[in-house]
Amino acid sequence: MMKFTQSCRIHEKKIYRNEALFYSDQALDDKTNFKTFIKGAYKYLGQSYPKFFKMDRLSKLGFIAASVLFSDRVLSAYAPEEIAVVMANRHSTLVTDTKHCESIKNREAYFPSPSVFVYTLPNILVGEICIRYGFKGENAFFISNQFDQDFMYQYANLLFQSGETKACLVGWVDYKDEADYSAILHLLET
């Protein structure tokens, strides 16, 4: 029997942990952009993790969502390989794809970079979360046009039924542009 134990939601410069407001961008000025917002959240969390600054927007969004969800919780009861991460989004890595394209569009100013290119795969955000928390269990990333909680829960349940997964971080981390991004993370446990 799997139970839902923790959640985190991020959208429109607000972060909710277990449905209670955890952080919002203090400056109500609409011009405050995503970059400022997410950096503010990182600082608010007070955890030092320099790799954060190398991440692209999508990975930062997923990383902060996980950081908030786990800010008062450590999954010490489980072995690393028992913790699964299953995510989805709609826009894959659109913003970073564009950035990579910019770097290659002009043969005279051709500068593709591995540190940009690596973020052109959406499952990298799962990798970043796994690295941060030492999760070594099942991974899956899906592309769908909206967060299909029923399917994600069904898939998590199948993982639990196999007996090898005891906790599963399930969610949606999507970034299209400054006006359109969202993260929804749920922690499911046996």
For tokens 């913003």, what's the residue? 95
Say how far apart CA 129 and CA 72 lie, in whole Å: 16
Count the Cβ atoms, other than its own, within 10 Å of residue 91: 17
Helix, strand, coil percentages in the chain from 3-state DSSP, rounded to 5: 40, 25, 35
Looking at the Cβ atoms of 15 and 86, the one nearer to other proteins is 86
Rounded distance between C-alpha atoms, residue 34 and residue 61, angstroms = 9
Could you give the count of Cα atoms lying within 13 Å of 174 in the half-sphere of its Cβ? Answer: 19
> Sign of the CA dihedral 44, 50, 54, 59?
negative
User: In the complex, which residues of this chain contact other proteins (CB under 8 A)?
Assistant: 80-81, 85, 90-92, 97, 100-101, 103-105, 107, 110, 112-114, 117-118, 120-124, 126-128, 130-131, 133-145, 151, 154-155, 158-159, 161-164
Q: Which is nearer to other proteins, 25 or 174 (CB)?
A: 174
Q: Which is nearer to other proteins, 27 or 104 (CB)?
A: 104
**Whose Cβ is closer to other proteins: residue 33's or residue 113's?**
113
6/120 with CB nearer other proteins? 120
Nearer Cβ to other proteins (45/118): 118
Burial 143-181 (b: 16+ CB within 10 A, else e): eeeebeeeebbebbeebbeeeebbbbbbbbbbbeebeeb
Least distance (Å) between residue 105 CB and other proteins = 5
How far apart are the C-alpha atoms of 9 and 173, rounded to whole Å?
10
